[in-house]
């Protein structure tokens, strides 16, 4: 995390252009929970981001970061592990690193709304998506870790698509990693601060 506080670099780095992800970096760098509701801690994170913005002049982008990192446009970028898996599979000169200060643990989910008209069909769809064949095809296409251990074993095996790619099997049970749990007030505060961070770049 200290990397982002160094002097201005010749080739500025990529950072996710979402306030949630930017504040996660700042809060973790400061030793706080990324789910804090403390006004003083959020203020510190805001100050950290302003300082980082002035020192390193990062480029704030979103999904377009993926192809740019594959091309080696920037030396470093913050991204989700699934996107990093794709980058590493396309560019062997890239590496994956998870900060010791902690990061966000995340997952995708499929849900059935309570007013769904065809619940049985929805269950069939979920079962289809979670089948071994479907999971292998999906995970090899998008690089995101499968929900099935047998598929993980296949794609990380000797002849697997993601053998030797560190980002595919993500860190587990690390006490400083968290899931996002933001309340509406904190969300608004971060959004307001984020506008100020980028406007002072």
Question: What is the rounded distance in angstroms from the CA atom of residue 170 to the CA atom of residue 168?
Answer: 6
Same-domain status, 101 and 175: yes
Same-domain status, 134 and 153: yes
pLDDT of residue 201: 54
pLDDT of residue 33: 96
| Residue range(s) defining the domain that contains residue 116 | 106-162
pLDDT of residue 6: 54
CA distances from 134 to 1, 128, 149, 150, 200 (A): 37, 7, 14, 12, 46
Taking the CA atoms of 76, 77, 82 and 86 in sequence, report the sign of the dihedral they define. negative
User: Is 38 within 8 Å of 83 (Cβ atoms)?
Assistant: no
Same-domain status, 131 and 149: yes
pLDDT of residue 58: 82
Question: What is the rounded distance in angstroms from the CA atom of residue 127 to the CA atom of residue 82?
Answer: 22
* Alpha-carbon dihedral angle through residues 150, 167, 92, 59, given to the nearest 10 degrees: 150
Same-domain status, 100 and 27: yes
Same-domain status, 110 and 141: yes
The first and second tokens of residue 37, run together, are: 């509701």
Query: Which residues of the chain are modeled with pLDDT < 50?
Result: 7, 9-10
Q: What are phi and psi of 104, to 5 degrees?
A: -90, 130
pLDDT of residue 170: 80
Same-domain status, 90 and 27: yes
| 3-state secondary structure (DSSP) of residue 14 | strand
The first and second tokens of residue 6, run together, are: 């160094």
Same-domain status, 137 and 122: yes
Same-domain status, 138 and 183: no
Which CATH number goes with the domain that contains 28? 3.40.190.10
Same-domain status, 122 and 37: no
Sole residue written with tokens 């929900």: 147
Question: What is the rounded distance in angstroms from the CA atom of residue 120 to the CA atom of residue 158?
Answer: 39
Q: Could you count the other beta carbons within 10 Å of the beta carbon of residue 33? A: 15
Same-domain status, 37 and 126: no
Question: What is the rounded distance in angstroms from the CA atom of residue 86 to the CA atom of residue 183?
Answer: 32
What's the pLDDT tens digit per position in 117-171? 999 999 999 999 999 999 999 999 999 999 999 999 999 999 999 999 999 988 8
State how many domains the chain has: 2
Same-domain status, 14 and 74: yes
pLDDT of residue 1: 53
């Amino acid at each position: 995390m200290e990397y982002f506080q160094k002097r201005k670099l010749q080739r500025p780095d990529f950072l996710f252009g979402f306030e949630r992800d930017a504040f996660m970096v700042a809060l973790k760098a400061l030793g706080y929970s990324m789910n804090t509701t403390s006004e003083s801690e959020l203020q510190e994170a805001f100050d950290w981001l302003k300082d980082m913005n002035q020192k390193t002049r990062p480029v704030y982008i979103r999904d377009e970061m993926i192809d740019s990192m594959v091309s080696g446009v920037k030396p470093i970028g913050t991204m989700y592990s699934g996107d990093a898996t794709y980058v590493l599979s396309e560019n062997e000169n890239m590496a994956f690193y998870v900060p010791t200060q902690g990061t966000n643990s995340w997952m995708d989910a499929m849900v059935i709304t309570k007013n769904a008209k065809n619940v049985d069909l929805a269950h069939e769809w979920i079962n289809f998506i979670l089948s071994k064949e479907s999971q292998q095809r999906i995970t090899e296409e998008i690089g995101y870790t499968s929900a099935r251990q047998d598929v993980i074993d296949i794609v990380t095996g000797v002849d697997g698509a993601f053998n030797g790619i560190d980002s595919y099997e993500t860190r587990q049970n690390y006490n400083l990693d968290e899931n996002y749990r933001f309340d509406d007030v904190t969300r608004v505060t971060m959004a307001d601060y984020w506008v100020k961070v980028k406007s002072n770049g």
